[in-house]
Amino acid sequence: MNTLKKYLGIVWIAVAFAIGFYTIQIFGSKLTSDKQEDLVFGIIVFFILLPMIVTGLTIFGWYAITNEYKD
Amino acid sequence: MSDKKTKGIWKVISASSMGTMIEWYDFYIFGSLAVVLSTKFFPTDNPTAAFLSTLATFAAGFVVRPFGALFFGRLGDLIGRKYTFMVTLMLMGGATFAIGCIPSYETIGFAAPVLVLILRLLQGLALGGEYGGAATYVAEHAPKDQKGYWTSWIQTTATVGLFISLMVILVTKTLLSKEAFDDWGWRVPFWVSILMVYVSYLIRKNMDESPVFAKAKQEGKTATNPLKESFGNKYNLKFVLLALFGATMGQGVVWYTGQFYAMNFLKTVQNIDSSQVDMLLGIALILGTPFFVVFGWLSDKIGRKSIMMTGMLLAIFLYRPIYRTMYETTDVKNKIVLKADENVPTGVDEKKGEAYFVTTTEYKDGTIVQKSFTTQIGVGEINKESIKTTVTINNTDRWILILLVFIQVLFVTMVYGPIAAFLVEMFPVKIRYTSMSLPYHVGNGIFGGLLPAISTYFVTNAKDNGNPEFYLEGLWYPIGIAALCFVIGMIYIDRKINTLHD
């Protein structure tokens, strides 16, 4: 189980970057939208939700790789 | 447990729960009245824009919650649980009452939405500080092997708060005419809050500080810088991250799907009459609420993880079939028309130069669909696009929908019932308020709170692209988040985590 926890750390970091990439692809246009509601939505997604997922999941993955979650 | 001890803890539970329930009530009347508020406080040129603006304000109320968790959590770990959640209660009550007093956009222009936004942010801050305090306070009074059971009473407050908000709105709507409610009656639920807050303040005033915190304070073992100790220390930060990605993130989206997305879906995708939705949601919530305590109690016996993860797994696999069945209850393609009264004139607005018409279609199964249309006076041609559709459902469909919402509430009770005890047990006394509040409010406030806006976007986008199952597309967000959380929780959470600070 400890080995699985450790190596899955790489997966979490990869997932963090994949989420970042696809969020930019799907919602990227919102940040340049003329519509006010789209812009607000884009700001919330890009400046609050995305940083939280990407940085949080990356640190989580790194802790897993460095055996912080070892039993 | 002795009778005296049990009596003591019931006093703690009732005083804590009442205050927390009122805070949830305050928080949710805003969401429950989103449609009315959008017409009062945001430019009405485009109803969708107005509605999305309200959702954004709603999100703002959620986004700010983690900041409230940090600010009040720090205070709670420094000066104590009791005084901190007294402050949050007063802040919430004041902000809610003030929202009910703000003149509409038509009267004071852009100052109206700005004031609403500021007060909504204050509500979010207060809620961010309240929940962690109440959960910690109750858990620190509860016996070691019964924390799940006793804290589950606090867990019922969010649903009870939502239920009471729906009931107060329903009673106000029933007592007033439609015009009076739209004109000023919507303010009543906001005003009612101040009375409830006052009663709760009187009860909480006489409570003692948490014994565990009082002991730590007496021994000089409280934190000097709870924020640094919680998040600057790798040992604690790893648990904060695990709590977020392995538990609260999934719990947050399951909670908001079961209670808020379901309500939005019934009202805006299925167009069911708003009073019928409030009633059926209310019944599902009443039936489901006792299960918070059942699963909290069960978590003391078989562990918190297994219950929370089962709830998440069921939600992941059953959301799409549930929502498909919900949609089919009002899908008129499957129904036989009994009679239709087309384009019946209902009124004229001289100022706007518009005339209104309604087409009422009755179906064999008792479903009634009313579509409102408009036209410019003198033009004669009635717009083909309906400006509003209202579906009145029959009794059988009502019970089917109650059952389907109830099943979703059951998922909510599984993931939410044990989570307060789970979080409290993860962190040591001196940084408990701060450390447990942040992942809880990030999970619920940000991942859960943004669900209506993100899911509405997916639905709208799919509809614009002609996807025949557009109404299911909004579910990908909660399903994806819950699936990620499930995998992380299953692999990384072990039983030892919850006995680290015994």
Question: With helix as H, strand as E and coil as C, how does A23-49 read?
Answer: HHHHHHHHHHCCCHHHHHHHHHHHHHH
> What is the predicted pLDDT for the residue at B38?
79
Whether B376 and B407 share a structural domain: no
Whether B494 and A48 lie within 8 Å, measured CB to CB:
no
Judged by a CB distance cut-off of 8 A, whether residue B241 touches chain A is yes
Whether B367 and B423 share a structural domain: no
Whether B370 and B423 share a structural domain: no
The amino acid occupying position A32 is T
Judged by a CB distance cut-off of 8 A, whether residue B49 touches chain A is yes
Whether A49 and B447 lie within 8 Å, measured CB to CB:
yes
Q: Is B73 helix (H, G, I), strand (E, B) or coil?
A: helix
Question: What average pLDDT score do residues B323-340 get?
Answer: 91
Instruction: Write the pLDDT tens digit of every residue in A14-45.
Output: 999 999 998 888 888 878 877 766 777 788 78
Residue at token pair 């988040």: B481
> What is the predicted pLDDT for the residue at B4?
66
> What is the predicted pLDDT for the residue at B347?
80
Asked whether the beta carbons of B425 and B296 are under 8 A apart, the reply is: no
Instruction: Write the pLDDT tens digit of every residue in B82-115.
Output: 888 888 888 988 999 999 999 988 888 878 888 8
Q: Between these two residues, B469 and B384, which has the higher pLDDT value?
A: B469
Rounded to an integer, what distance in angstroms lies between the CA atom of residue B449 and that of residue B442? 9
Task: Flag whether pLDDT at B62 surpasses 80.
Answer: no
Whether B387 and B401 share a structural domain: no
Please tell me which of the candidates B56, B453, B491 has its beta carbon nearest to residue A5: B491
Kindly list the residues from chain A whose CB atom is less than 8 angstroms away from the CB atom of residue B234: 63, 68
Please tell me which of the candidates B56, B245, B494 has its beta carbon nearest to residue A40: B56
Asked whether the beta carbons of A41 and A49 are under 8 A apart, the reply is: no
Whether A71 and B63 lie within 8 Å, measured CB to CB:
no
Task: Flag whether pLDDT at B378 surpasses 70.
Answer: no
User: Of B366, B392, B418, which residue constitutes the final position of a domain?
Assistant: B392
Whether A64 and B492 lie within 8 Å, measured CB to CB:
yes
Whether B265 and B220 share a structural domain: yes
Question: What average pLDDT score do residues B349-353 get?
Answer: 76
The interface predicted TM-score of the complex, written ipTM, equals 0.93
Whether B378 and B427 share a structural domain: no
Judged by a CB distance cut-off of 8 A, whether residue B67 touches chain A is no
Whether B161 and B281 share a structural domain: yes
Whether A37 and B491 lie within 8 Å, measured CB to CB:
no
Q: Which of B440, B455, B491 to mutate to test the interface with A (most CBs of A within 10 A)?
A: B491
Instruction: Write the pLDDT tens digit of every residue in B1-59.
Output: 566 667 778 888 888 888 888 888 887 888 778 778 878 887 666 555 555 565 556 56
Please tell me which of the candidates A8, A41, A56 has its beta carbon nearest to residue B457: A41
Q: Where are the domains of chain A?
A: 2-65
Element (H, E) at B335: none
Q: Between these two residues, B257 and B388, which has the higher pLDDT value?
A: B257
Question: What average pLDDT score do residues B276-288 get?
Answer: 91
Rounded to an integer, what distance in angstroms lies between the CA atom of residue B274 and that of residue B269? 12
Question: What average pLDDT score do residues B168-195 get?
Answer: 92
**In angstroms, what separates the C-alpha of A60 from chain B's closest C-alpha?**
6
Rounded to an integer, what distance in angstroms lies between the CA atom of residue B279 and that of residue B401? 11
pLDDT band, residue B384 (cuts 50/70/90): low
User: Of B392, B409, B438, which residue constitutes the final position of a domain?
Assistant: B392
Q: Which of A4, A69, A70 to mutate to test the interface with B (most CBs of B within 10 A)?
A: A69
Whether B347 and B430 share a structural domain: no
User: Of B372, B392, B412, which residue constitutes the final position of a domain?
Assistant: B392
Q: Which residues pair with B369 in a beta bridge?
A: B361, B391
**In angstroms, what separates the C-alpha of B238 from chain A's closest C-alpha?**
7
The pTM for the full model equals: 0.87
Q: Which residues pair with B350 in a beta bridge?
A: none
**Domain carrying residue B445:** 3-330+395-499
Which CATH number is B107's domain given?
1.20.1250.20
Domain count, chain B: 2
Helix axes B3-32, B111-139, angle to 10 degrees: 160
Whether B305 and B192 share a structural domain: yes
> What is the predicted pLDDT for the residue at B158?
83
CB pairs under 8 A between A and B: 56
Q: CA-nearest residue of chain B to A6?
A: B492
DSSP string, B370-404: EEEEEEETTT-PPPSS-SEEEEEPPHHHHHHHHHH
Task: Flag whether pLDDT at A2 surpasses 80.
Answer: yes
